[in-house]
Chain A
Amino acid sequence: MTLTEQVLARHAKRASVVPGDNIWVDVDVLMTHDVCGPGTIDIFKKQFGAEARVWDPEKVVIIPDHYIFTADAYAHRNVDILRAFAGSQQLPYFYDVNTPRYKGVCHIALPEEGHTRPGEVLFGTDSHTCTAGAFGEFATGIGNTDAALIMGIGKLWVKVPSTLRFVFEGTMPPYLMAKDLILHIIGDIGVDGATYRAMEFAGDGVMSLSMEERMTLCNMVIEAGGKNGMIAPDETTFAFVRSRTNKPFEPVFDRPDAHYETERRYRIADIPPTVAKPHSPDNRASVREVAGTAIDRCYIGSCTGGKVSDFLAAAKVIRGKEVKVDTYIVPATTEVMREISRSTYEGETLLSIFQKAGCKIAEGASCAACLGGPSDTFGRLNKAEVCISTTNRNFPGRMGSKQSAVYLASPYTVAASAVAGTIADPREFL
C-alpha cells in the first residue's frame, strides 16, 4: 500500500484498502476557521441538537485567520460565533483574535501548535488543508456539511484515492524553492491533473527540504486538483513534530508493495525559476520567458509563501536595495511575525531589511489579500492591477478585482521583481 492507503486503512480499521474503496475513517483532527466555522456549527446544531456536544473537544481545532483586520461587521460577527461555540463546548484549541493565543493562517498555525502528526487523519474546512501532508499524514479539505458530520460522530466517508508519485533527484540550487518545483509539476499535469488522486513527493531532492519547504509542495496539490499531498516522514519530520507536541503518533513509511498510478521523475538541475501566468496555476512559464513584464505590486504572504524561510529568501534578495513597486509583506502567523523581527540576515533583522527597502508591512498575521476578502483588506487588488505573488491561486479575481492579474512565483522571484520593478529572475540578484 502507498502511504495514503496505509493511513486510510488503519483509520478504517481494515488490513488493507485499494483505490476506489469507499470507507468510513476515524478522524484525528478537525480544523475550521472563521469563513466556514459558523456554517459548520450551524449544521452541527441542526443535525445533532442545540445542546449536542462535539465528539471530542481535544480533536476540534478552531483558527480564525481569514477576515481579521477589516471593519466588516459580518466578518466580526463570524468570529463571535466561533468564540461562543468554543466557550460552550470548552474547546482547548481555539486561537482567538485579539488575544495572545491569536495565530493567523490555519495551515501554518496547525504545525506550529503541534496539531500535525505523522500517520494521522486531518480534515479541515479549507482546501489547503492538504499542506499537512508534508508531515506524512492524510490531510484534505472538506465543506461545512462534512465538517458538521465529523463534529458529531468523529468519522467521515472517503473514497480511497490512487497515488501519483513525483520523484525529485539532486540538490536544490540557491535560487530555487519548493514553489518552483510545484509550479513546474502543475504546469505539466494541469489544474485537474491530479483530480481524485493523492500526490506523493519523494526522492533525495524532496527529503533534503526543510519542513517549511515540504509544506509548500503539499500546499499546492489542490491547485492540481489533488485530494491530498504526502511525503514520507523522516528525522526532519520527527524533529519538528517532537519540538511542538508530546502527543504520541504512529508514522507510516514507504512499503515495497506500494502501487502508484504513475511515477514522474525530475532532475532538479533542469528546473528553472518558474511562474504561473494569469489566470491559472497551470499557465506555466520560466521566469526568463516573462522577465521584464510590467507589474504594479508584489505580495509576499499566505500559507504558501508567508513562512519564516519565505521571508528569509526574500530578504536575501531585497537587503540593501529599495523596492520599485508597492511590496506587501504579510507574515502567515504571529509566530512568523515575531520571527522576522528576530531572525537576521547578514546581521540585520528581516523586518528591518523590509522596512528600509520601503516594503509595506501588515499590522498582523492573516490571510489578507491572498483571497481578496472585504474591500478594505490589506494588499487587496481593487482595480485592474498586475501583481506578482507568493500565494497559490491566480484564477480571475482571486486577489480582489476580476480585472486584476496575478503571477504566482517563489519568494526569491517576487523579491527580485520588487527590486527590479518588473518581473525579474532571482539569479540576477543572488
Chain B
Amino acid sequence: MMETHIVGKAYVLGDNVDTDQIIPARHLVYSLSDPEEKKRYGQYALSGVPDAVAGLPGGRVPFIPEGEFRSPFKVIIAGKNFGCGSSREHAPACLQIAGVAAVIAESYARIFYRNVVDGGFFIPFEAADSLVGKLCTGDEVTIDVASKTVTHAGTIYALRPLGDVETILEAGDVFAYARQSGLIPTPQPVGTPTAGRTAGS
C-alpha cells in the first residue's frame, strides 16, 4: 500500500505545532464525506500557524496558495511533538487532502500519530536527528520508504524505523489490519474505499 519513493517539496515547521494550528477549530464543521466540502479542509490546512513561523527558516510562506485547495508541498518537516493538542482526525485528514504524503518530525504527539497510522493518511516518519534547520521550505526531497532515508541535494539523512506500526501502514489502515488479524470476520464490501483513501470520511 505504501509508496516506495516520495518526491516533492518540503515545508518546514518548528516544535509543538498543535492541532489548532493544523486545522483551526472553526473549520471542523465541514463534512469529510462530501467531496466539495472536504476540499475546504485542504484549503485551511496549517492556516493556524503564526505567519512568522509558517515555512521556516524565513516564515510567511503560505502552505496553501490563496484561493487553492492543494499545497505545492508534499513533505512536512517538523520539530518535536508534532500534532499535540486535540484528538481531531481532521488534522491528519486535512494534510492528506492538501496533498501531503509524508511528515518527518523529530517526535509526535500520541493521538495524532495514532490517527495518522490507523486512518492511513500518510507516513509519519521520525528523523534520527532533527531536520529542522538542515532543510529549508521549498527544498526538493526524496524519501526512500524501504531504506528509511531522505535525500536533498546529494545529502542523505537517516529516518527511524517505523516499528510496530509498519504492519498497519502496509495493510493500509486499521480496518485492513483488523481484517487481516481476523477481528472483523466479514470481508470488506467490494468497491468500498478504506478510511484512509477517503481521508477519514
Contacts and interface: CB of A to CB of B under 8 A. Distances in A.
A396 interface: yes
Contact of A191 (B16, B118, B183): B16
Given A145-B118, A146-B118, A375 B200 contact: no
A280 B115 contact: no
A372 B30 contact: no
A13 interface: no
Interface in A364-414: 371-375, 393, 395-398, 402
Interface string B94-121: 0000000000000111110011001100
Contacts, number: 162
A196 B110 contact: yes
A181 to B, nearest CB: 21
A67 B25 CA distance: 10
B26 A393 contact: no
Contact of B115 (A22, A146, A149, A398): A146
B121 to A, nearest CB: 9
Given A372-B26, A395-B20, A43 B86 contact: no
A227 to B, nearest CB: 6
B29 to A, nearest CB: 4
B95 to A, nearest CB: 13
Given A145-B119, A153-B184, A396-B21, A35 B28 contact: yes
A406 B41 CA distance: 26
Contacts of A67: 29
A195 B109 contact: yes
Nearest to B178: A149
Interface stretch (B65-73, B140-148, B189-197): B189-197
Nearest to B33: A42
Interface in B4-58: 16, 18, 20-21, 24-26, 28-33, 48-50
Chain B interface, DSSP helix/strand/loop, else mixed: loop
A49 B189 contact: yes
A146 B174 contact: yes
Interface string A49-73: 1000000000000000011000010
- Interface residues on chain A, size class: 35 or more
A192 B111 contact: no
Interface string A98-140: 0000000000000000000000000011110100000000001
A36 interface: yes
B188 interface: yes
A126 B87 contact: yes
A159 interface: yes
Interface stretch (B77-85, B130-138, B154-162): B77-85
A98 to B, nearest CB: 18
Interface of B: 16, 18, 20-21, 24-26, 28-33, 48-50, 80-81, 84-90, 92, 107-111, 114-115, 118-119, 164, 173-175, 178, 181, 183-184, 188-189, 192-193, 195, 198, 200-201
Interface of A: 22, 24, 35-36, 38-39, 42-43, 46-49, 66-67, 72, 74-75, 77-78, 124-127, 129, 140-146, 148-149, 152-153, 155, 157, 159, 191-192, 195-196, 222, 225, 227, 280, 371-375, 393, 395-398, 402
26 contacts: A36-B88, A43-B195, A47-B184, A47-B192, A66-B28, A72-B29, A74-B29, A75-B29, A127-B111, A141-B87, A142-B114, A143-B88, A143-B119, A144-B115, A145-B175, A191-B84, A192-B107, A222-B111, A225-B81, A225-B84, A372-B25, A372-B26, A395-B18, A395-B84, A398-B85, A402-B48
Which 5 pairs show the lowest CB-CB distances between chains A and B? A74-B29, A143-B89, A143-B115, A141-B87, A192-B81
